[in-house]
Homo-oligomer: A and B are copies of this chain.
């Protein structure tokens, strides 16, 4: 179907609205006139289409491509995150990009309106996944899995108004780690917090703090443990004044709390959690936040968010406001929403906000003028002479077959200088050079791009020699 540009489409609409009015004597001429215009518009449209497409080339609102440079940075971040998840024994998993719409209904509360729905093309009603948590719960319920520690890296989609400067996109990548199953209290919760710390330390984003939502802690104590609201608020006074680390200790020294049996019970889980966090060496990274509140409907317990205290600012670097870079919490009821009999599988997990982290790392690299290699090529196969394409092709196939990462220029007779420049601009460390002299003597030259040193070696020793050099570097 030919593309109609925006402006002419509007002209068409105006025209149609004219034509659809019941004809009267006074407008007959106008109609005829319009139909001539229509014909002219159509003709010019078809002509324009034959010459060139009539639209601006861009990606959809709130989305972007990742260039090779960005891809390298993204991959480094993901590698670090995934290797941490694997260090903690998580299994990988994947789910489809879209779900039956009814699977996602009633899971996100107010945010449901931000879901991308697919057009009804005569089949099922589908929506793009909004997070990785609900598909995980659906997977557990569908397969009757009662226990699982898994990670999932994937894209999710939300129709938020995109504030791209702050790293908010409508398509973005999430890295989730979750522990499903009935276990002794607070052990998996503490591990989730430990994982957050390991990842944020590993990414070297500067100092950070993990804030637990006090409102949720209080709610847990009052509604679930039966603590009197006034006792909970006394605990709240501590939360207001102190950080997380020494908090529990101090509360137990307060006779108003430590001599109150109910208070002690209410504090039990919190005490346990901070004990474990202390053994993990991360208790001082956790504090309470009085303003934090649950973002999504499915959380049932304490939620937490990791914030950077200040992004690493150096001379000339603009400080970035990035907000939360990781979040998580307990959602004991979600799996039960899918189960026909409502059987619950308690879950706790966390999600790493890759886009925001990506923005920080990218900006930092720009500030420091850091360059990344976008390829991993180890060797360029080059020649100083004409008519050496066949030799280069034979040579490079040998390297490829030996697992060596090699490139050559796709020209019959490239200039040597062009070939050497290519190495310098793309960071290839070694050049293998074959020319008339080398061919006659049964050797090839290996040149180090950095030192410009060249050595001749026997043709048959080439692969072994390169492998030796690469293993040494």
A residues apposed to B, CB below 8 Å = 1, 3, 51-53, 55, 57-61, 63-68, 71-72, 74-75, 86-100, 102-103, 105-106, 116-121, 123-124, 126, 128, 138-139, 141-143, 150, 155, 157, 159, 171, 179, 181, 183-184, 187-188, 190-191, 194, 198, 275-276, 279-281, 337-342, 374-377, 389-390, 393-394, 397, 400-401, 403-407, 410-412
Cross-chain contact B119 with A194 (CB below 8 angstroms): no
Cross-chain contact B342 with A61 (CB below 8 angstroms): no
Cross-chain contact A67 with B93 (CB below 8 angstroms): yes
In Å, the complex CA distance between A1 and B112 comes to 11
* A338/B87 contact (C-beta < 8 A), A3-B102, A119-B119, A279-B394 known: no
Interfacial chain B residues near A198, Cβ < 8 Å: 400-401
Interfacial chain B residues near A72, Cβ < 8 Å: 92
In Å, the complex CA distance between A88 and B126 comes to 39
**Number of copies of chain A assembled together:** 2
* A280/B405 contact (C-beta < 8 A), A87-B400, A93-B68 known: no
Determine which of B65, B118, B341 lies in contact with A116 in the assembled complex, contact meaning CB atoms within 8 Å. Answer: B118
Cross-chain contact A58 with B117 (CB below 8 angstroms): no
Interfacial chain B residues near A179, Cβ < 8 Å: 410
Cross-chain contact A123 with B61 (CB below 8 angstroms): yes
What are 9 A-B pairs with beta-carbon distances under 8 A? A59-B100, A59-B142, A68-B150, A87-B406, A88-B400, A88-B405, A91-B374, A183-B410, A190-B393
Cross-chain contact A99 with B280 (CB below 8 angstroms): no
Cross-chain contact A1 with B105 (CB below 8 angstroms): yes
In Å, the complex CA distance between A59 and B55 comes to 36
Determine which of B52, B118, B390 lies in contact with A342 in the assembled complex, contact meaning CB atoms within 8 Å. Answer: B52
Determine which of B55, B142, B188, B397 lies in contact with A410 in the assembled complex, contact meaning CB atoms within 8 Å. Answer: B188
Q: Nearest residue in B to A202 (C-beta to C-beta)?
A: B403
